[in-house]
Amino acid sequence: MLDREKVRKEVESWESFFYNYNLGDRPMRHNELGIRLVDGKWQLYQSFERGGYNVIDTFDKESDACEALLYYLRSEKRRQERYRKFREQELLKHKERLKREEELRKQNTDEFRTVDPFDWR
């Protein structure tokens, strides 16, 4: 059975994962995904930047709510990893492009140095 402490341990073990989440042990904050106990039912919610929240699903058992929360957090983790890889690839492409441009500039300046049209000697 999955409980809040197991979810916390798993999420804290992820390297470079940044996302606001709440396991129902503190007040609701802006821009977070969390679970909370309301009238004997567990709610999975997403809070908004300017206040308010949206209930995604309601569960009878804590373990079911924890599984759903962990599912969404794992999805966010995968999204962040894909974006990080994309950014790394884009940075490499940019560096290669700058290197090619610098090589072309160097070739062009070398060509102009060999033949100077303003040299009257």
DSSP readout, 35-94? EEEETTEEEEEEE-TTS-EEEEEEESSHHHHHHHHHHHHHHHHHHHHHHHHHHHHHHHHH
Q: Would you state the pLDDT for residue 35? A: 96
Q: Which two tokens stand for residue 60?
A: 């009878």
Confidence class of residue 86 from pLDDT cuts 50, 70 and 90? Answer: very high
Q: What is the pLDDT of residue 112?
A: 56
Contact 33, 46 (CB under 8 A): yes
- At 117 the pLDDT is 61
Question: What per-residue confidence (pLDDT) applies to 79?
Answer: 93
Q: Is 13 helix (H, G, I), strand (E, B) or coil?
A: helix
d(CA 69, CA 39): 19
30-76 residue pLDDT tens: 999 999 999 999 999 999 998 899 999 999 999 999 999 999 999 99
Whether the predicted pLDDT of 110 surpasses 70? no
Element at 95 (helix H, strand E)? helix 62-114
Q: What is the mean pLDDT of residues 80-98?
A: 94
What pairing do the DSSP bridges indicate for beta strands 41-47 and 33-38?
antiparallel
Q: From residue 97, give the alpha-carbon distance in Å to each of 13, 94, 110, 111.
A: 37, 5, 20, 21
Q: What average pLDDT does the structure give for the chain? A: 89
Q: Indicate whether 121 pLDDT > 60.
A: no
Q: Which amino acid is at 111?
A: E
